[in-house]
Amino acid sequence: MTALVVAGTDTDIGKTVFSAGLTLALGASYWKPVQSGLADETDSTCITRLTGQPVLKEAYRLTLPASPHLSAEAEGVEIDCKHLQLPSVDGPLIVEGAGGLMVPLNRKTLYLDLFAAWGAPIVLCARTELGTINHSLLSLKALAEAGCRVVGVAFIGTSEPQVEETICAFGNVAHLGCLPRLDPLTPEVLGAAFEAHIDLETIQKAMV
């Protein structure tokens, strides 16, 4: 089993759609360790709808749409990282984080700490809108200082070549492409867009 982590610079930037495209392209399994918020379509349900690939059950399913540590505390539980070890599956595994890197899982552990402990390669997803240079470079700095192996940055939104080049140059990482916002968002549209815009070869090499 080879795992790859899809992390993000913030919440609601398109990590789940990117994860779906990657899961579809690789014929992979998918795992969201902690789901905070159950009122709307969950990320796991979205992946199932868009890919039809195996989706592993979340280790924690929490009702409150908030940081995992707050969602857990609202239900009187504490997230135990012993239950967040990478599961064993046949073939590649795509693991999606929640929000940004500094999101707490409990009062002692950030998602970044978990990623570092796993040691799996990481793709950082970033917006292309105003403010993304700062958020992206801070995220890349945090990943480097934690000793994480970053495959590169995948951008999501309307392409801004100068912005993207600036981030990858200062961050000294690979540019993995820019996935546009898709409407309609169907498996067929997602698959075609991912093939056209994302450097899948670089990602696959990092998973070997």
The bridge status of strand 122-127 relative to strand 150-156 is parallel
- For the question of residue 82 being annotated catalytic, the response is no
Query: E strands of the chain, at which residues?
Result: 2-8, 29-31, 34-36, 60-62, 92-96, 122-127, 150-156, 175-179
Q: Which of 32, 57, 108, 205 is catalytic?
A: 32
Cβ 154 vs Cβ 18: under 8 Å: yes
Question: Whole-angstrom Cα distance, residue 78 to residue 84?
Answer: 12
Residue 175 forms beta bridges with which residues? 153
Question: Whole-angstrom Cα distance, residue 17 to residue 14?
Answer: 5
Radius of gyration, CA atoms only, the chain: 16
Q: Find the angle CA(62)-CA(45)-CA(74) to the nearest 5 degrees.
A: 5
Region at 169 (left for phi over 0; alpha for psi -120 to 50; beta for the rest): alpha
Active-site positions? 32
